[in-house]
Amino acid sequence: MSDEGPGGPPEEEEGPEEGDEAGAYEHPRRPPQDPREYVASWSERDSLDGKDDRAWVLILRTRGCSWARCSMCGYHGEAAAATPDDLLHQFGTALDRRRGENIAKVYTSGSFLDEREVPPELRRRLLEELFGNFKRVVIESRPEYVTGPAVRDALSACPGLEIAMGLESASPRVLSHSVRKGFLFTDFEERATLVRRLGGRVRAYLLLKPPFLGEKEALEDAVASALKAAPVCDTISINPVNVQRGTVVEQLWRQRIYRPPWLWSAGEAVLRASRGIREAGCATRLVCAPTAAGRRRGAHNCGRCDLSVVAGLEALSLTGSTEGLEGAFARGCGCLAEWREALEMGAFPVINYDALLPR
Amino acid sequence: MIEILARDGLAREMKWTHDGQSLHSPNLLFLRSRGLLHFGRGDGFLSADGAVEGKFTLFSGGSWFLERPMAASSPLPPSSPVIPAFPNIPAGLEAAPGEAYAASLQGFRASGGPVLPVTGEYPPDLASNGAELLVYAGALEHSFRPRQFAEELVRLKEAAGYGRLVYAPGLGEPAHLSFLAYCGIDLFDSAPLLAAARRGHKLLPGWRADATEKGVCHCPACEGGGEGPETVYMHNCYAALSEVRLVRSAIRGGRLRELVENRLSDAWQVAALRHLDLRHYEFCERFFPVARPASAGMRALGRASLTRPEIARFQRRVLERYRRPPSAPVLLLLPCSARKPYSSSLSHRSFRGQIDRLGNPGAVHEVVVTSPLGVVPMELQSFYPAGSYDIPVSGDWDETEIRVLRDQLARFISAGRYSGVVCHLSGMDFLGGALPPTAVSTGGARATSHSSLEDMGRALAGLLEGMPKVGRRKADAERIASLSRFQFGPGGEALAECCEVQRRGNDRRVTDGRRTQLALLQHERGLLSLTMDGARRLLGRTGYEVEIGDFRPSGTVFMPGVLSAGRDIRPGDEVLVTHAGALRGVGVALMSSSEMERAKKGGAVRMRHHLSTKGGGE
């Protein structure tokens, strides 16, 4: 009975502050970024045409996203004024660390196809090099840069290229009032169709639980969005929202208005979406690799069962098999009933039940 | 339809009737949905699937983001109170979505349903629209930040008025109910009871027990055994239900603040209460009555009591409104007594005996120094809360009490321009700095000891030497003038011009000296009750007038009849009822003037005398 608010336990370190000042939070200003250094690069498990493989992931430090207004995205903190020479240097140093991966995923903190981030000559050169080194190449862009000329140019440099777009949701209300994405499903659909017509592959990123949506709404929206996007996508990746620094989501999280989704919700969303996609006769591959899973800022359950759900999600992403996830649900956990209750509370949208749950 | 049954500060006991069902507030809405645990013993429900048979039911469901209205599977009775599905987006967030559903709510409001969600910017017609229940959407989130909670509450109350229900979704733990009701929130729900049950918390008012601990409670759920979430949820519901009944009882009895202070167990509550007391005094004070029945005597037991609006108001009025009797330039500071009124206590009777023996009691101004009120001039001894308060006496003082006493006393003495000060207090040496250097201290180790009393007598005699004797009639009249000015503000002293006072026990009958009664001061009420003749003396001089339409008031004056009301009127105040500047009667205000400005119905003044009656005694 000490310093708890009506809904929750006292905070642990790194948590949202309690008390009057929590609302006034501003994240500490970051040191200026070095344009010679890429943001991050790592190697991860992935699959290629149904077979186990690894992906080499590179996040280039560019001048950043031209939109930079999405409520959950903190990548704008990573920008720097990088020249083509800087970018080439970043690319080169990262490629030196490649360990035989067959898949390349090259992202910027914005859009790879935005010519103000990656000039066309450089883009061509990078794609050609990627094509020569990897069996599958994935880049990401906002749909407004996925134009006929850009796609044609990219595909000629790198045939079979997979272009990813952050669709986030197919719902206009979620896109405009929760994510603040700046485009609608039809914009995405049009560009996705274009990419496929020109011979490219399409990947859509969807969000699980953008801000202001309850757990149940979030689950339903992710499933519905996956089914709606599947006919124009080769891959759909469901991304549970994680709390990134300097975002609206972080503000809300600190005020306890936002809690990242349960891993159970991710599991359920993926199971339902993959079933629906199969029933609709689509060959779309479904993946889900939650960032910061099991941590307070990422999708999490009670802490005891988190790993088993994450393992199920990974298995499904790699092989398409739902067995691992179904097993996790069948084995259950003490928190499964709590999660079901949180979903049931979706019948009372006026009550912010998340604020009453332990984080 | 809403009926206000009782008031205490911002809290209301109300009866909400809709479609033949009624609900008494404050109350809990128990959540009802097929997939959730169900507690059927409540009076009100918030349902996602159909009405709860024979009970007051509000409906909820659907989703704004998924563009899904309430499930078609739950046919609703016509004109049911439905809470629309809207996203809970906090005020002040820089994100744009605030506007998002504001538009979508327009349609809902246009439908004229009795429920209206409020969040972010309030609709401009909030004060006047017909909604009976306001859903205070951000209440739970604001409760995490006490300062903001207090600010938002004041904003909401000022915008929405004081005669309809406010529902705070997600709040409703037993420990919080009295405080939330005190804040003017009327409906809560069982969501926090459910969340606590899932975490193994058995809730009791002001306490949280572990679900596995046996024998902490004997409610029907606990008597049945079991420690699973179902049992704990049922227990939590029983606990909340009995607490909310206690809250209603406390409102009716005028003792809600006592209950609130008794239940303070979470830091945010204490902080929010402090913010309301210290930072929103001007707003809150208006709703607190100036008189309470003796059964609701104030218990000022802890630190939270020190900032009660009634106490702060008393202190301010002593400094701002009060004037000492002009013929009593000798100040005698006395300790308080457990027995009220002070003058009926043994200690004060012996003080009084000593003063009387000196032969000029009218020249001595007796003033009690007491925590937490500060200074209480003896003629105000019956005024609430001076007339009935209880404090723990152990001889220990905390810094805040000392500071308030010292400050209050210094300012009082300086305003009174006394010719001499005798400080007959013991164990309050810390007041020294507040006294003039010439003050004589006579309290000794025990103020009632023979030697202390003799010291006091000697000191007073020295100061009174050579002073003209003040006649009893004059002394009494001056004290009534001081009291009247304290009660009615500047101008109030007109009541006492050339008056005569007859004592009857603790009561005082005020006449004009020619058998016409002007007012009666009963210790039980603590205020002067005016006759028509007394009221005529005050007409046009004070802020305690209620202007009504052109009718002859009798019984109770109801709201539509009130045209305007003086700003200073508080519940329980003695008021003059006028029309076009002419006196139509005298009565007791049932609500504050702030509420009279806003209310559309309900009793405003209970009349005591009106034109057709002879302005005689009670």
Q: How far is B241 from chain A (nearest CA, A)?
A: 17
- Chain B residue numbers touching A224 (CB-CB < 8 A): 66
- Chain A residue numbers touching B265 (CB-CB < 8 A): 1
How much is the CA Rg of chain A, to the nearest whole Å?
20
- Is residue A49 exposed (0-12), middle (13-18) or buried (19+ Cβ within 10 Å)? exposed
Q: How far is B194 from chain A (nearest CA, A)?
A: 9
| Res A21: pLDDT | 34
Query: Rounded to whole angstroms, how far apart are CA atoms A215 and A241?
Result: 12
As a whole-number percent, the residues of chain B with pLDDT over 70 amount to 93
Of B61, B65, B144, the CB nearest to A347: B61
Q: Give CA separation, B266 vs A11, A255, A359, B376, B602, in Å.
A: 15, 18, 19, 34, 36
Q: Give CA separation, B229 vs A183, A304, B215, B222, in Å.
A: 45, 19, 17, 12
Structure tokens, A297? 């800022």
Comparing alpha-carbon positions, the chain B residue that sits nearest to A19 is: B145
The residues facing B207 across adjacent strands are B204
Query: Rounded to whole angstroms, how far apart are CA atoms A63 and A81?
Result: 5
The H-or-E segment that residue B459 falls in is: helix B450-464
Which stretch, A17-31, B268-282, B384-398, has highest mean pLDDT? B268-282
Q: Do the Cβ atoms of A118 and A108 come closer than 8 Å?
A: yes
As a whole-number percent, the residues of chain B with pLDDT over 90 amount to 73
pLDDT band at B271 (very low <50, low <70, confident <90, very high): very high
Cβ distance A1 to B266 less than 8 Å, yes or no, reads yes
Structure tokens, B430? 């810390």
- Chain A residue numbers touching B36 (CB-CB < 8 A): 341, 344-345, 347
Cβ distance B96 to A7 less than 8 Å, yes or no, reads no
Half-sphere exposure (CA, 13 Å, Cβ side) for B169? 29
Of A23, A213, A351, the CB nearest to B170: A351
| Res A27: pLDDT | 36
Comparing alpha-carbon positions, the chain A residue that sits nearest to B85 is: A349
Q: Please provide the DSSP assignment of B392-425 as one string.
A: --SS---HHHHHHHHHHHHHHHHHHT-SEEEE--
| Best residue of A350, A352, A354, A356 to probe chain B, by most B CBs closer than 10 Å | A350
Query: Rounded to whole angstroms, how far apart are CA atoms A251 and A275?
Result: 35
Name, in order, each residue with C-beta under 8 angstroms of B442's C-beta and a sequence gap of 6 or more: B422, B423, B424, B452, B455, B456, B459
Cα–Cα nearest to B616, from B543, B519, B542, B525: B519
- Chain A residue numbers touching B144 (CB-CB < 8 A): 5-7, 18, 22, 255-256, 355
| Res A76: pLDDT | 81
pLDDT at B49 over 60: yes
Cα–Cα nearest to A20, from A233, A242, A232, A254: A254
For B11-24, write each residue's pLDDT tens digit.
999 999 987 889 99
| Backbone phi and psi for residue B147, each to the nearest 5 degrees, phi listed first | -65, -45
Q: Do the Cβ atoms of B137 and B102 come closer than 8 Å?
A: no
The H-or-E segment that residue B22 falls in is: strand B21-25
Query: Rounded to whole angstroms, how far apart are CA atoms B168 and B85?
Result: 15
Which stretch, A70-84, B416-430, B600-614, has highest mean pLDDT? B416-430
- The mean per-residue pLDDT over the stretch B77-91 comes to 69
Of B85, B100, B189, the CB nearest to A349: B85
Q: Do the Cβ atoms of A349 and B64 come closer than 8 Å?
A: yes
Q: How far is A105 from chain B (nearest CA, A)?
A: 32
Q: Please provide the DSSP assignment of B57-76 as one string.
A: EEEE--BTTTTB-S-TTSPP
Q: b vs e for B169-192, b when ≥16 Cβ sit within 10 Å of the residue's Cβ?
A: bbbbbbbbbbbbbbbbbbbbbbbb
Cβ distance B93 to A357 less than 8 Å, yes or no, reads no
Cα–Cα nearest to A317, from A271, A250, A249: A271
pLDDT at B615 over 60: no
Structure tokens, B46? 């918030």
Query: Rounded to whole angstroms, how far apart are CA atoms B91 and A107?
Result: 36
| Res B543: pLDDT | 95
Q: Per mean pLDDT, which range of B57-66, B193-202, B413-422 is the poorest?
A: B57-66
Q: How far is A72 from chain B (nearest CA, A)?
A: 11
Count of residues making up chain A: 359
- Chain A residue numbers touching B271 (CB-CB < 8 A): 19
pLDDT at B110 over 80: no
- The mean per-residue pLDDT over the stretch B283-300 comes to 93
Comparing alpha-carbon positions, the chain A residue that sits nearest to B271 is: A19
Q: What is the mean pLDDT of chain B?
A: 90
pLDDT band at B106 (very low <50, low <70, confident <90, very high): low
- The mean per-residue pLDDT over the stretch B63-82 comes to 73
**Helices (H), ranges, chain A:** 84-95, 120-133, 148-157, 172-173, 185-197, 215-229, 248-254, 263-279, 306-319, 323-331, 334-344
Residue with tokens 């180790």: B445
Comparing alpha-carbon positions, the chain A residue that sits nearest to B61 is: A347
Low-confidence ranges of chain A (pLDDT < 70): 1-31
| Res B190: pLDDT | 98
Structure-model confidence comparison of residues A234 and B295, the more confident one: A234
- A71 three-class SS: coil
- Chain B residue numbers touching A1 (CB-CB < 8 A): 175, 206-208, 265-266
For B113-168, write each residue's pLDDT tens digit.
677 777 777 777 788 878 899 998 889 988 989 999 999 999 999 998 898 999 99
| Best residue of B108, B144, B190 to probe chain A, by most A CBs closer than 10 Å | B144
The H-or-E segment that residue B14 falls in is: strand B11-18
- Chain A residue numbers touching B147 (CB-CB < 8 A): 20
Cα–Cα nearest to B45, from B72, B78, B18: B18
| Best residue of A302, A348, A353, A357 to probe chain B, by most B CBs closer than 10 Å | A348
Of B65, B148, B199, the CB nearest to A174: B65
| Res B68: pLDDT | 82
- The mean per-residue pLDDT over the stretch B495-508 comes to 92
Cβ distance A171 to B67 less than 8 Å, yes or no, reads yes
Determine if residue A159 is left, alpha or beta; phi over 0 gives left, psi from -120 to 50 gives alpha, anything else beta. Answer: beta
Cβ distance A221 to B140 less than 8 Å, yes or no, reads no
- B387 three-class SS: coil
Q: b vs e for B346-369, b when ≥16 Cβ sit within 10 Å of the residue's Cβ?
A: ebbebbbebbeebebbbbbbbbbb
Q: Do the Cβ atoms of A196 and A243 come closer than 8 Å?
A: no
Count of residues making up chain B: 618
Cβ distance A173 to B61 less than 8 Å, yes or no, reads no
pTM of the model: 0.90
| Res A77: pLDDT | 82
pLDDT at B565 over 70: yes
